[in-house]
Amino acid sequence: MSIIKKINEIFYKNYDDNWDDKLFRNELLKKINHKFIILDLAAGAGIVKEMNFKGTVKEVHGIDLDKRVLENKYLDFPVVGNCENLPYEDNKFDLIFCDNLLEHLEHPKKVFSEINRVLKNDGIFFFKTPNKYHYMPLISHFTPHSFHRWYNNLRGRDYDDTFPTFYRANSRGNIKHLTNNLSLKISKISLIEGRPEYLKIHPILYLMGLLYERIVNSISFLNFARILLIGELKKNKK
Protein backbone atom coordinates (compact mmCIF):
# COMPACT_ATOMS: atom_id res chain seq x y z
CA MET A 1 0.00 0.00 0.00
CA SER A 2 1.34 3.44 -0.92
CA ILE A 3 2.04 6.02 1.77
CA ILE A 4 -0.45 8.45 0.23
CA LYS A 5 -3.18 5.80 0.19
CA LYS A 6 -2.44 5.01 3.84
CA ILE A 7 -2.66 8.70 4.75
CA ASN A 8 -6.02 8.91 3.01
CA GLU A 9 -7.33 5.87 4.88
CA ILE A 10 -6.32 7.36 8.22
CA PHE A 11 -7.05 11.06 7.78
CA TYR A 12 -9.35 11.37 4.75
CA LYS A 13 -11.54 8.27 4.82
CA ASN A 14 -14.67 10.38 4.22
CA TYR A 15 -13.22 12.05 1.11
CA ASP A 16 -14.08 10.81 -2.38
CA ASP A 17 -12.27 11.70 -5.58
CA ASN A 18 -13.45 15.08 -6.88
CA TRP A 19 -14.73 15.87 -3.37
CA ASP A 20 -14.65 19.62 -4.09
CA ASP A 21 -16.78 19.26 -7.25
CA LYS A 22 -19.25 17.08 -5.34
CA LEU A 23 -19.45 19.68 -2.59
CA PHE A 24 -20.06 22.41 -5.17
CA ARG A 25 -22.71 20.32 -6.92
CA ASN A 26 -24.59 19.82 -3.64
CA GLU A 27 -24.64 23.57 -3.06
CA LEU A 28 -26.04 24.14 -6.54
CA LEU A 29 -28.72 21.48 -6.14
CA LYS A 30 -30.03 23.30 -3.06
CA LYS A 31 -30.99 26.24 -5.29
CA ILE A 32 -31.92 24.63 -8.62
CA ASN A 33 -35.44 23.64 -9.62
CA HIS A 34 -36.80 21.98 -12.75
CA LYS A 35 -38.08 25.25 -14.24
CA PHE A 36 -34.67 26.93 -14.27
CA ILE A 37 -32.72 28.00 -17.33
CA ILE A 38 -29.06 27.84 -16.32
CA LEU A 39 -25.68 28.76 -17.81
CA ASP A 40 -22.36 27.00 -17.29
CA LEU A 41 -19.51 29.45 -17.85
CA ALA A 42 -16.37 27.78 -19.26
CA ALA A 43 -18.30 24.52 -19.57
CA GLY A 44 -15.49 22.75 -21.39
CA ALA A 45 -15.83 19.32 -22.95
CA GLY A 46 -17.97 17.83 -20.19
CA ILE A 47 -15.15 16.13 -18.30
CA VAL A 48 -16.45 16.87 -14.79
CA LYS A 49 -19.54 14.70 -14.35
CA GLU A 50 -20.56 16.55 -11.19
CA MET A 51 -21.40 19.55 -13.38
CA ASN A 52 -24.07 17.60 -15.25
CA PHE A 53 -27.49 19.17 -14.58
CA LYS A 54 -29.12 18.10 -17.84
CA GLY A 55 -32.62 16.82 -17.13
CA THR A 56 -32.61 18.42 -13.68
CA VAL A 57 -33.57 21.83 -15.10
CA LYS A 58 -35.50 23.15 -18.10
CA GLU A 59 -32.43 24.17 -20.14
CA VAL A 60 -28.67 23.95 -19.67
CA HIS A 61 -26.64 26.41 -21.73
CA GLY A 62 -22.86 26.40 -21.80
CA ILE A 63 -20.13 28.59 -23.24
CA ASP A 64 -16.39 28.11 -23.65
CA LEU A 65 -13.54 29.40 -25.81
CA ASP A 66 -12.58 25.77 -26.51
CA LYS A 67 -14.45 24.23 -29.45
CA ARG A 68 -14.70 20.99 -27.48
CA VAL A 69 -17.66 22.56 -25.69
CA LEU A 70 -19.72 21.55 -28.73
CA GLU A 71 -19.09 17.92 -27.71
CA ASN A 72 -20.24 18.48 -24.11
CA LYS A 73 -23.06 15.98 -23.58
CA TYR A 74 -24.15 17.73 -20.39
CA LEU A 75 -25.40 20.78 -22.31
CA ASP A 76 -28.62 21.39 -24.20
CA PHE A 77 -27.24 24.48 -25.94
CA PRO A 78 -23.42 24.71 -26.24
CA VAL A 79 -21.78 27.85 -27.65
CA VAL A 80 -18.19 28.68 -28.53
CA GLY A 81 -17.60 32.19 -27.21
CA ASN A 82 -16.00 34.57 -24.74
CA CYS A 83 -17.41 35.20 -21.27
CA GLU A 84 -16.46 38.85 -21.66
CA ASN A 85 -19.17 39.19 -24.32
CA LEU A 86 -21.94 36.69 -23.63
CA PRO A 87 -24.16 35.99 -26.68
CA TYR A 88 -27.40 36.02 -24.70
CA GLU A 89 -30.23 38.49 -24.18
CA ASP A 90 -30.69 40.44 -20.96
CA ASN A 91 -32.33 38.72 -17.97
CA LYS A 92 -32.28 35.23 -19.51
CA PHE A 93 -30.92 32.94 -16.80
CA ASP A 94 -32.22 31.88 -13.40
CA LEU A 95 -28.81 30.64 -12.34
CA ILE A 96 -25.26 30.95 -13.68
CA PHE A 97 -22.34 28.94 -12.36
CA CYS A 98 -18.66 28.37 -13.03
CA ASP A 99 -16.28 25.72 -11.75
CA ASN A 100 -12.65 26.85 -11.61
CA LEU A 101 -12.99 29.75 -14.03
CA LEU A 102 -12.43 32.94 -12.03
CA GLU A 103 -8.71 32.36 -11.56
CA HIS A 104 -8.28 32.46 -15.35
CA LEU A 105 -10.03 35.79 -15.98
CA GLU A 106 -7.73 38.50 -17.29
CA HIS A 107 -10.57 41.06 -17.32
CA PRO A 108 -12.98 39.92 -14.57
CA LYS A 109 -14.87 43.22 -14.44
CA LYS A 110 -16.16 42.62 -17.97
CA VAL A 111 -17.25 39.10 -17.10
CA PHE A 112 -19.07 40.12 -13.93
CA SER A 113 -20.81 42.91 -15.82
CA GLU A 114 -22.00 40.40 -18.42
CA ILE A 115 -23.18 37.97 -15.73
CA ASN A 116 -25.12 40.82 -14.15
CA ARG A 117 -26.72 41.63 -17.52
CA VAL A 118 -27.91 38.15 -18.51
CA LEU A 119 -29.01 37.04 -15.03
CA LYS A 120 -32.66 37.51 -14.08
CA ASN A 121 -33.65 39.66 -11.12
CA ASP A 122 -33.33 37.50 -8.00
CA GLY A 123 -31.14 35.17 -10.09
CA ILE A 124 -28.08 33.51 -8.56
CA PHE A 125 -24.44 33.32 -9.60
CA PHE A 126 -22.45 30.46 -8.05
CA PHE A 127 -18.71 29.95 -8.36
CA LYS A 128 -15.96 27.66 -7.11
CA THR A 129 -12.37 28.82 -7.43
CA PRO A 130 -9.01 28.65 -5.61
CA ASN A 131 -8.51 31.26 -2.89
CA LYS A 132 -5.66 33.58 -3.93
CA TYR A 133 -4.19 33.54 -0.39
CA HIS A 134 -3.64 29.79 -0.32
CA TYR A 135 -0.10 28.51 -0.91
CA MET A 136 -0.87 26.96 -4.30
CA PRO A 137 -2.17 30.18 -5.96
CA LEU A 138 0.68 32.09 -4.30
CA ILE A 139 3.21 29.67 -5.82
CA SER A 140 1.37 29.88 -9.14
CA HIS A 141 1.54 33.67 -9.07
CA PHE A 142 5.34 33.65 -8.84
CA THR A 143 6.06 30.86 -11.33
CA PRO A 144 5.76 30.76 -15.14
CA HIS A 145 2.94 29.07 -17.03
CA SER A 146 5.37 26.45 -18.34
CA PHE A 147 5.92 25.31 -14.74
CA HIS A 148 2.15 25.04 -14.18
CA ARG A 149 1.79 22.86 -17.29
CA TRP A 150 4.69 20.64 -16.20
CA TYR A 151 3.41 20.28 -12.63
CA ASN A 152 -0.17 19.51 -13.65
CA ASN A 153 1.12 16.95 -16.12
CA LEU A 154 2.78 15.18 -13.18
CA ARG A 155 -0.68 15.11 -11.59
CA GLY A 156 -2.15 13.46 -14.68
CA ARG A 157 -3.54 16.46 -16.54
CA ASP A 158 -2.81 17.05 -20.22
CA TYR A 159 -0.61 20.03 -21.06
CA ASP A 160 -3.39 21.56 -23.17
CA ASP A 161 -5.80 21.54 -20.20
CA THR A 162 -3.67 23.91 -18.12
CA PHE A 163 -4.58 27.53 -18.80
CA PRO A 164 -2.97 30.84 -17.74
CA THR A 165 -3.99 32.18 -14.33
CA PHE A 166 -4.35 35.74 -13.05
CA TYR A 167 -6.16 35.48 -9.67
CA ARG A 168 -7.95 38.81 -10.04
CA ALA A 169 -11.33 37.53 -8.79
CA ASN A 170 -10.24 35.11 -6.08
CA SER A 171 -10.96 36.65 -2.70
CA ARG A 172 -13.92 38.18 -0.88
CA GLY A 173 -12.30 41.59 -1.37
CA ASN A 174 -11.90 41.02 -5.11
CA ILE A 175 -15.53 39.93 -5.47
CA LYS A 176 -16.82 42.86 -3.45
CA HIS A 177 -14.83 45.29 -5.59
CA LEU A 178 -15.93 43.66 -8.88
CA THR A 179 -19.62 43.87 -7.92
CA ASN A 180 -19.45 47.35 -6.41
CA ASN A 181 -21.48 49.07 -9.15
CA LEU A 182 -23.59 46.06 -10.13
CA SER A 183 -26.87 44.57 -8.91
CA LEU A 184 -24.96 41.44 -7.88
CA LYS A 185 -24.46 41.22 -4.13
CA ILE A 186 -22.66 38.65 -2.01
CA SER A 187 -25.06 36.22 -0.31
CA LYS A 188 -22.47 33.74 0.95
CA ILE A 189 -18.74 33.14 0.78
CA SER A 190 -17.24 29.91 2.15
CA LEU A 191 -13.56 29.05 2.58
CA ILE A 192 -12.75 25.36 2.87
CA GLU A 193 -9.54 23.35 3.25
CA GLY A 194 -9.76 19.65 2.50
CA ARG A 195 -7.58 16.86 1.22
CA PRO A 196 -4.37 18.34 -0.31
CA GLU A 197 -4.98 17.20 -3.90
CA TYR A 198 -2.28 19.43 -5.39
CA LEU A 199 0.46 17.62 -3.45
CA LYS A 200 -0.30 14.01 -4.34
CA ILE A 201 2.81 13.75 -6.49
CA HIS A 202 5.04 12.87 -3.51
CA PRO A 203 4.43 11.48 0.02
CA ILE A 204 6.54 14.15 1.75
CA LEU A 205 4.66 16.94 -0.02
CA TYR A 206 1.37 15.23 0.84
CA LEU A 207 2.33 15.05 4.52
CA MET A 208 3.17 18.75 4.45
CA GLY A 209 -0.24 19.41 2.91
CA LEU A 210 -1.87 17.34 5.65
CA LEU A 211 -0.12 19.41 8.34
CA TYR A 212 -1.17 22.65 6.65
CA GLU A 213 -4.77 21.43 6.39
CA ARG A 214 -4.89 20.56 10.09
CA ILE A 215 -3.50 23.96 11.09
CA VAL A 216 -5.81 26.16 8.97
CA ASN A 217 -8.85 24.10 9.94
CA SER A 218 -8.10 24.18 13.66
CA ILE A 219 -7.31 27.92 13.97
CA SER A 220 -10.30 30.04 12.99
CA PHE A 221 -8.42 33.24 12.16
CA LEU A 222 -6.42 31.31 9.54
CA ASN A 223 -9.53 30.54 7.48
CA PHE A 224 -8.39 33.21 5.00
CA ALA A 225 -5.65 30.76 3.91
CA ARG A 226 -7.92 27.85 2.99
CA ILE A 227 -7.86 26.66 -0.60
CA LEU A 228 -11.49 26.44 -1.74
CA LEU A 229 -13.54 29.59 -2.28
CA ILE A 230 -17.23 28.93 -2.92
CA GLY A 231 -19.41 31.96 -3.51
CA GLU A 232 -23.07 32.75 -4.00
CA LEU A 233 -24.12 36.11 -5.43
CA LYS A 234 -27.69 37.25 -5.93
CA LYS A 235 -28.91 39.83 -8.40
CA ASN A 236 -31.09 42.25 -6.51
CA LYS A 237 -34.06 43.99 -8.08
CA LYS A 238 -33.39 47.63 -8.89
pLDDT tens, residue order, the chain (238 aa): 599 999 999 999 999 889 999 999 999 999 999 999 999 999 999 999 999 999 999 999 999 999 999 999 999 999 999 999 999 999 999 999 999 999 999 999 999 999 999 999 999 999 999 999 999 999 998 899 898 888 888 887 786 778 889 999 999 999 999 999 999 999 999 999 999 999 999 999 999 999 999 999 999 999 999 999 999 999 997 6
CA 119/CA 89 separation, integer angstroms:
9
Reference 182, options 127, 230, 234, 232; nearest CA is: 234
CATH number at residue 148: 3.40.50.150
* Stated pTM of the model: 0.93
Cβ neighbourhood burial of 226 (10 Å; 0-12, 13-18, 19+): buried
CB count within 10 Å of CB 95 equals: 21
Domain assignment of residue 83, given as a range: 3-235
Q: Which amino acid is at 49?
A: K
Domain count, the chain: 1
Which residues fall within 8 angstroms of residue 79, CB to CB, at 6 or more apart?
Answer: 61, 62, 63, 69, 87
